[in-house]
Structure 1
Amino acid sequence: MLAFKIFPFIQALVIILCFILPLKKVSLKYKILLAIIFGLGSLKQYIYIFSGGDMMDPKLSRYPAIFFDTIYFSSIFLFLLTLIRMIINGVYKLSRLNPGKFIIPAQSTRYAALFLLIACLIGGRAVFNGFAPPVDKFYEITVKNLPSEANDLRIVELADLHISAPTIPSEIEDIVKRVNETEPDLILIAGDFVDGTIEELDYMTKILFNLKAKYGVYAVSGNHELYSGYKNWIEYFEKGGIKFLENDGVIIRNEKDVPLLNVCGVIDISAHRFNLPEADIQKALANTDRNLPTIFMSHQPKLANQLKDKSDLTLCGHTHGGLMPGLKQIVAKVNGGYVSGLYNTGRQRVIVSNGTRIWAGAPLRLHDPSQIVYVTLKQ
């Protein structure tokens, strides 16, 4: 945590000392301007001091958030490009055994302009993608022992809605409209609904109460519910018709009372750190029919490694698809090998959603877009 707090200052110093100051043909006033934009831009996570938010939810409205995030991520990419230049030059100096040799001169305004252009294009595009509407992602999953009455059963998975200060109501209205138009049999929401309080977000979160599915809307908590007032939010959403399966399970039955499948869920795996119950797979399975297929919801996908012989289909979120190449591999590593898409683990199929929206703390995407996941079950 200390490294997370200190790193932005290190990044700012590297940009100022190793990128801006060495430039030969740039006047002092432009160097100061660059230092303000990209040096201070590196410190975006401290804006919450002035906005009244925190690192999890900076509480910036939409357009200020887009503005500061674009500068922030452009600063990160400029920092990375500066490091790459330093590494290339360092390796070249060592290979030639001459400290005066270099490939990319630090004082060159031509290279500096190129680096700035690349950093700003990537940063701007990443933030634009982060705030873009979700795409539709379709899966067809064959499930062993699926009753004939459940063949072609349609499920919509939402995850990581992250309704917060930069969100606008029309975004949530569009998601609800798109989901309802498909007339799903089940809607399953894999956590991280909100960043903020009920008083701040009610005018947007209540839009989710319009979600409609033949057999109901079910959900599990994510880690961000734990930061935002877990008990109040769970009670709030349940009053709105969204049933939470926190270490619980239900048997889904059709209109003729024929049992179709089990739907189970667990509380977020970090809940015990907030004096809440631990994620309990056995408790979630206690009231289910073991002869029926089981669909499991877990916000964090690493739990799927404990469900290989218990779940036929596990739906997760949390990873946001890894956000960008390079980081994606790291995110997969810390999430049990799961980061985005469909995984086969014996009996179990695991779908990790990229998230339906994006977290305001890191609203960027370079490869894996936000998505609404549609699953059709087949015999």
Structure 2
Amino acid sequence: MNDRVYSRRFSEHPAFWVVCAAIVTVICIYIFFKINEAQPGGTAGVIWLMSCGAMTGLSYLARRTKRLHHAQLRRWTDRAGSLWLLFVLYSFFALLVLELAGLIMGREIMPVWAELAAAFALSAGLIALGVKQAHTIQTTKITIETEKLPPGEERLRIVQLTDLHLGPYTGVALLAQILRRVREAEPDMVVVTGDVADGRLEGRGREIAMFRRIRPRYGVYAVTGNHDYYDDIDRALDFMRRAGMRVLSTEAVCAGGIVVVGVDDRDHLREDKWGLSRSETVIVNTRSRFRDKFMLLLRHRPVVEIGTQGMFDLQLSGHTHGGQLFPLLSSRLFFRGHSRGFKKLQKGSMLYTSNGAGYVGPPVRLMAPPEIVVIDLVRR
């Protein structure tokens, strides 16, 4: 898949809905036949099909039409529809596993009604676990030794936030928990690596006030992500600036004795002079100006251009959500770039790709817990 696919939300591609509708229809019919096998001639199968149609329609209504004008109604409609679809998928996978186990053992493991009950219970349990995990922010701590701290500075603490996805589907309760974790970390600097917005951000005075309570001594720096561009990039930038963030748009600043470089979301695809991309140009130019300073690179996507390795010391990225919905093959596993976690690159450069703190689609995370990242730069 190429980067053009991601120039807009997946839910805005007509083909996405056609493929999803086809898959969900096949799965719902398969489960319908299983229900009829367990209760021949009963009404349970018909109720199942009617529920599938209604709940699938809710998701489409919330995401692809403007018929729901009330923000709260749209939010809960979207959540109900997306959670139901996830329930259907997980139930289907559970039934397949039970069927496969029966084929391997050469006999029926349990009656059909028991298979259905087990599949539905497992699916509901996984979703409940995923909802809880999506709303339980963890703190990931990393310590990096360096000789590039300024004289007298023994430790510089940086907190990374990414993929907050504030919008009609994310409430202030989750943001309050995220920012409480940030305050508890007592950072010297906060960096935000994109996807602050996931929808229009008008009338967000409460969230702005919450952000402005974060006052690290060396400031808050941010770069844009792909979702910031989807609805209204100007409103997203206005929100970030009013929230106290300095947005770095393909530029570098000195703060806390280090150099912070921020590149726009698609700078690695924009050609600049000398055959370099825009992000390569700013990285190379900044390293030539500040040879002895620690360079922190902020980039939303975990893309590392080969020619820049060794130019920066640490890159912080997000974008992937860590997969978010294990074991589903989330689209975020196919993005160009590196997977989640800490990586040592060539020539001394390092990369950390965060799972992010928010979510897209259903409010569920499995095997990809939301996080803020605390990076301590300490003198070697």
**Greater mean alpha carbon deviation, residues 164-173 or residues 179-188:** 164-173
Q: CA deviation at 1:104?
A: 6.7
Aligned to 1:69: 82
Q: CA deviation at 1:81?
A: 3.4
Map 1:97-136 onto structure 2 (within 5 A): 103=108, 108-130=112-134, 132-136=135-139
Question: Which of 35, 42, 47 is 1:28 aligned to?
Answer: 42
Aligned to 1:342: 342
Aligned to 2:280: 281
Amino acid in the other structure paired with 1:115: A
CA separation of 1:264 and 1:352: change in aligned 2, threshold 3 A:
same
Q: CA deviation at 1:143?
A: 2.5
**How many residues in Structure 1 have an aligned counterpart in Structure 2?**
354
CA separation of 1:189 and 1:63: change in aligned 2, threshold 3 A:
same
1:164-201 per-residue CA deviation (whole Å, 9 max, x = no partner) reads 22333233233333323433111000010011223254
8 Å CA contact 1:266, 1:298 repeated in 2: yes
1:212-257 per-residue CA deviation (whole Å, 9 max, x = no partner) reads 111110010010011021133213422442111111111124xxxx
Q: What is the TM-score normalised by the length of structure 1?
A: 0.81
Map 1:126-165 onto structure 2 (within 5 A): 126-130=130-134, 132-165=135-168
Question: Which of 253, 259, 266 is 1:262 aligned to?
Answer: 259
1:79-136 per-residue CA deviation (whole Å, 9 max, x = no partner) reads 33345566677x77xx9xxxxx87579x822212222222222233223322x13111
Aligned to 2:314: 313
Aligned to 2:10: none
Aligned to 1:243: 246
Q: Distance in 2 between matches of 1:245 and 1:212?
A: 18
Map 1:291-370 onto structure 2 (within 5 A): 291-303=292-304, 307-327=308-328, 331-336=332-337, 338-346=338-346, 347-359=348-360, 361-370=361-370
8 Å CA contact 1:164, 1:201 repeated in 2: no
Q: Which runs of 4+ in 1 moved over 6 A?
A: 86-89, 270-273
- Give SS of 2:343's match: strand
**Greater mean alpha carbon deviation, residues 187-196 or residues 163-172:** 163-172
Q: Distance in 1 between matches of 2:146 and 2:74?
A: 44
Map 1:165-204 onto structure 2 (within 5 A): 165-204=168-207
1:18-51 per-residue CA deviation (whole Å, 9 max, x = no partner) reads 2212433425321122223345445554132686
Aligned to 1:217: 220
Q: Distance in 2 between matches of 1:159 and 1:46?
A: 27
Amino acid in the other structure paired with 1:13: T
**Greater mean alpha carbon deviation, residues 115-124 or residues 32-41:** 32-41
Unaligned runs of 5+ in 2: 1-12, 271-276
Q: CA deviation at 1:74?
A: 0.8
Q: Distance in 2 between matches of 1:354 and 1:78?
A: 26
Q: Distance in 1 between matches of 2:54 and 2:128?
A: 17
CA separation of 1:168 and 1:334: change in aligned 2, threshold 3 A:
closer
8 Å CA contact 1:135, 1:372 repeated in 2: yes
Unaligned runs of 5+ in 1: 96-100, 254-259
Amino acid in the other structure paired with 2:323: G
Q: CA deviation at 1:155?
A: 0.4
Amino acid in the other structure paired with 1:314: Q
Q: Distance in 2 between matches of 1:266 and 1:12?
A: 39
